[in-house]
Amino acid sequence: MDKVRKPKNIFVKGPISPEKIAQSIANHSAKTDIGGHSIFLGQVRADQKEAGQVMGIDYTAYEEMALEKAFEIREAIFAKYPLTCMHMYHSLGEVKTGELCLFVFTSSKHRKAAMEACEELVERIKAELPIWGKEILDSDQHVWKVNT
């Protein structure tokens, strides 16, 4: 019997805590059919811009559309790769430099599928989800972030 997947809320208010990541990893220790996990952690960089240094990013999203698109991406990745589990979380609101704003976690029986799925998932999140980041500068100005 196929498992029915439902859209999940991928958004976390503020930075993603190391405790949330640790708990997610710990929750998988009982799943003994998993042989490999791949994890991507996105962290806010203190880039130097023409108008000042980045002190943080204020993330906003068209949430309903982003959740629908995240579900579509999730389903496509599950259809393409033999994954056991997949988790993705993205921050909303202000995240300071050095803090985590994106957590992607894929699991599979074998490492290669987990690693390839994780990479594709990160690229699709960055390219396709309606999430915007306003970089907050030390000069009290801001610039809209371009995903790279």
Percent of the chain surpassing pLDDT 90: 81
pLDDT at 102 over 70: yes
User: Which domains does the chain show, CATH number per domain?
Assistant: 11-144 (3.90.1170.40)
Strand bridging mode 83-96 / 11-13: parallel
CA nearest to 103, candidates 34, 48, 23, 2: 23
- Band of pLDDT at residue 12, cut at 50, 70 and 90: very high
pLDDT at 133 over 90: yes
Tell me the average pLDDT across 35-58: 94
Query: What are residue 114's DSSP bridge partners?
Result: none
Q: Angle, to 10 degrees, between the axis of helix 111-128 and the axis of helix 63-80?
A: 150
CA nearest to 10, candidates 46, 59, 82, 45: 59
Give backbone dihedrals phi and psi of 87, rounded to 5 degrees, phi first. Answer: -135, 140
